Structure 1
Amino acid sequence: MLVDADHLLASLIFEPDRCSINFHPLHSYVAIGFYTFFLFIPKLRVIAIGLLFHMLTDYQDCLWH
């Protein structure tokens, strides 16, 4: 859940109609690229899977609004 700490940097911490993907720094496409790269490092693989699932669930929020 530390990946959601970047929400504190936004002017409104929570806005229901905002898409988190590519808005918050830890939800950016560059960060998602790093999370994908982490899949190839065995010690980080479980964390990478969790982060990518988190991005997937946040992306689903973007589709509904």
Structure 2
Amino acid sequence: MPPFLNWTLHLAAPIAVAWFFFRSQWKRAALIMVAANLVALDRVFFAAAETPTNCAINAYPLHTMLPISLYGAMMFLPWLPVRLLGIGLVLHMLVDALGCGL
């Protein structure tokens, strides 16, 4: 996936989810979910093996299955900011998975 499309989806997906599901406070929800993209900073601190697809899933510590499952669990916690962060993290992983050809 071209980098421009990748980062467009990383921004557009959380904003769209916030708009459709959290309409009364969509700006706050979008801000929290977009902030979840900071998880990509693990690419700065950890070197991954070069792959032909440059797939981030399972290549960086915060993009492995254990953290991803914790992000999924966060979506069901009662405190709204944590739930929104979990949704944003899962959306980030889904967009990264699209880049892997999944």
TM-score of Structure 1 vs Structure 2, range by shorter chain: 0.7 to 0.9
Q: Are residues 16 and 4 of structure 1, via their aligned partners in 2, closer, same or farther at CA, if it must alter by over 3 Å?
A: farther
What is the identity percentage for the equivalent residue pairs of Structure 1 and Structure 2? 39
2:33 counterpart residue number? none
1:39 counterpart residue number? 75
In the TM superposition, residue 21 of structure 1 has moved relative to its aligned partner by 0.4
2:47 counterpart residue number? 10
AA partner of residue 20 (structure 1): A
AA partner of residue 40 (structure 2): D
1:58 counterpart residue number? 96
Q: Is the radius of gyration larger for structure 1 or structure 2?
A: 2
AA partner of residue 66 (structure 2): V
Structure 2 distance, partners of 1:58, 1:25, is 14
The TM-score normalised by the length of structure 1 is 0.81
The TM-score normalised by the length of structure 2 is 0.54
Root-mean-square deviation (CA, aligned residues, Å) is 2.2
AA partner of residue 5 (structure 1): L
Structure 2 distance, partners of 1:7, 1:16, is 17
Q: Is the 8 A contact 2:48 2:59 kept in 1?
A: no
Q: Are residues 11 and 45 of structure 1, via their aligned partners in 2, closer, same or farther at CA, if it must alter by over 3 Å?
A: closer
For 1:18-53, what per-residue CA distance to the aligned partner results, in whole angstroms no more than 9, with x for missing partners?
A: 110011111111111000111121221111111000
> Number of aligned pairs?
63
Structure 1 distance, partners of 2:52, 2:47, is 13
